[in-house]
Amino acid sequence: MGRPKIARKSTAVDMTAMCDVAFLLLSFFILTTKFKPSEAVPVSTPSSVANKIAPETDVVMISLNADGHVYLSVGDSQRDKDKKQAMLESINQRFSLGLTPTDIANLKKAPFIGVPIAQLKQQAALSTDQMNSKTLPGIPSQDTARNEMNDWMAAAVQAYQGEKMNLILKGDNVAKYPVFKNIIAAFKKNEQFKFSMVTNPQAVPQGSDLWKDNVSGKAQ
Amino acid sequence: MAEMDTSGGGHHKKGPGVKKGKKLSTRVDLTPMVDLGFLLITFFIFTTTMSQPTAMRLALPDDRVKPEDQNKIKQSGALTILLGRDNNVFYYEGELAPDASNFKASNFKEIRDEIISRKRSADTNLVVVIKPSDECTYKNVIDILDEMSINVVKRYAMVDITDVEDQLIKRTEGGGTGGQ
């Protein structure tokens, strides 16, 4: 009995197509990825159902880290940096700190301001990679009596006079409330009644009123 | 898997006397390249951050408005939520009874039901007063403000805590009867 001969087929598969797909996906991910800039002040933000994307221009951001230290930064654009320079100059003048133009240029380049106003000169002397939340004590605002955020907010309001300023507060999950309260007090004192808080997006719980509104298409 | 030398076989005969040039296959094994491709894809998928941070807006009341121009809230219709340490939440309806009998402990999971039931009750004008104590965290405040938007509570206010309430929270937390 002769068995029917089964033709041996090669098990090798043509990999070209798969290779094409793999590299197509790869280029997609490479192009869409946006590396998180290494943050000098690590802050893990809480989640909320807010669905508005945080603005990126004309930003004055106040970071509140886990230890309750407060840092001030601006957006990345040149315009924002110029505003920062204006703020620094007005602070310099008001407190007669005697900062040289080089100091101001250094602080303008710095990722954030994180020292009491009296020590700005020392921060200007540091190099950018020496500035992080471990080395710098933050802007004093724990104390209602000596809340330097008031002065910084006044400078910011002055720098953005007549223009839109996006005031953003980026707080850490475990930061304590009193510092947050003092920051809000500084906003209020300078007549900034609207601000946003940076949060991570979170799904709206099913069955809640907001969920029903969203489903029925009723925009709030 | 290697697929070298498949076309170099000698089955097509050229005419006699024609020298057979040794033909090398042009096919390359792409398997390692695919491996590398997928490895990089995995890397980029894991490191990419698709979700942009969102911004939660908050409008603050203007304190300089004269007290007589400010909106008065009816104490009887208000739900006051107090935030304590370790994610404890306390609440009372209307005014705080002198013997604190309407002062109840809760937590972030249960407070939603309380807000909803208050909202559903006949009183249409629900006003929520949020009083964070000094012990609570930024996350607690955001969470409770988020609760307001989840449950579409239109009228709420953040108010400083009073000493009586602060004492009450401390006492309750000290007694260990607070929510988890």
C-alpha count within 13 angstroms, C-beta hemisphere, residue B114? 20
Residue A204 CA to residue B142 CA, distance in Å, equals 15
Q: Is the CB of A50 less than 8 angstroms away from the CB of B38?
A: no
Task: Render B43-109 in DSSP notation, one character per residue.
Answer: HHHHH---SPPEEEEEEPP-TTS-GGGSPP--GGGEEEEEE-STT-EEEEESSPPTT-TT-EEE-TT
The pLDDT value given to residue A219? 53
Among B2, B52, B57, the residue with its CB nearest the CB of A194 is B57
pLDDT in tens, B105-128: 888 888 888 888 877 775 667 788
**Neighbouring residues of B60: CB distance < 8 A, sequence distance ≥ 6:** A184, A187, A188, A193, A194, A195
Q: What is the pLDDT of residue A85?
A: 86
DSSP B9: S
Strand-pair category, B89-93 with B104-106: antiparallel
Which residues does chain A have within 8 Å of residue B37's beta carbon, measured at their own beta carbons?
Answer: 19, 22-23, 25-26
Question: For residues A150 and A94, what is the distance between their CA atoms, to the nearest angstrom?
Answer: 13
B2 or A45: which carries more pLDDT confidence?
A45
For the stretch B150-168, pLDDT in tens is 888 878 888 888 888 888 8
Give the rounded distance of the alpha carbon of A73 from its chain centre: 8
Given this model, what pLDDT does residue A220 score? 47
Residue A153: exposure state from Cβ atoms within 10 A (0-12, 13-18, ≥19): buried
Give tens-digit pLDDT for B61-110.
776 666 555 556 666 667 888 888 888 888 888 777 777 777 888 888 88
What is the C-alpha end-to-end distance of chain A, expressed in Å?
82
Q: Do A19 and B30 touch (CB under 8 A)?
A: yes
Give A133→chain B minimum CA distance, Å. Answer: 19
Q: Do A199 and B142 touch (CB under 8 A)?
A: yes
Chain B residue whose CA is closest to A191: B62
Instruction: Quote the pLDDT of residue B136.
Output: 86
User: Which pLDDT band, with edges at 50, 70 and 90, does B9 fall under?
Assistant: very low
- Is residue B180 over pLDDT 50? no
3-state DSSP helix/strand/coil percent for chain B, to nearest 5? 35, 15, 50
What tokens were used for A143? 């104390």
Looking at residue A1, what is its pLDDT?
59
pTM for the model stands at: 0.72
pLDDT of residue A208: 80
Mutation choice for A interface testing from B6, B112, B118, B142 by most A CBs within 10 A:
B142
Give the pLDDT confidence of B37-57 residue by residue, as tens digits.
Answer: 899 888 888 877 666 778 888
pLDDT of B75 reads 60
Task: State the number of CA atoms in the 13 A half-sphere of A150 facing the CB.
Answer: 12
pLDDT of residue B28: 81
Q: Does B32 touch chain A (CB under 8 A)?
A: no
Query: In angstroms, rounded to a whole number, what is the distance separating the alpha carbons of residues B78 and B119?
Result: 11
Chain B residue with minimum CA distance to A37: B49
Task: Compute the distance between CA of residue A137 and CA of residue A116 in angstroms, rounded to an integer.
Answer: 8
pLDDT at position B66 is 61
Q: Which amino acid is at A54?
A: A
Q: Minimal CA–CA distance to A197: which of B147, B161, B138, B150?
A: B138
Partner-chain contact A18 B30, CB within 8 Å: yes
Closest CA to B149 of A195, A208, A194: A208
B11 pLDDT band, cuts 50/70/90, is low
Residue among A10, A12, A199 minimizing CB distance to B56 = A199
Q: With contacts defined as CB-CB under 8 Å, which chain A residues touch B141?
A: 177, 180
* Blockwise average pLDDT, block size 10, chain A, 220 residues: 76 84 88 69 81 81 84 82 84 82 82 81 78 76 76 83 83 86 83 84 81 73
Contacts of A52 in chain B (CB under 8 A): 54-57
> Min CA distance, A93 vs chain B (Å)?
29
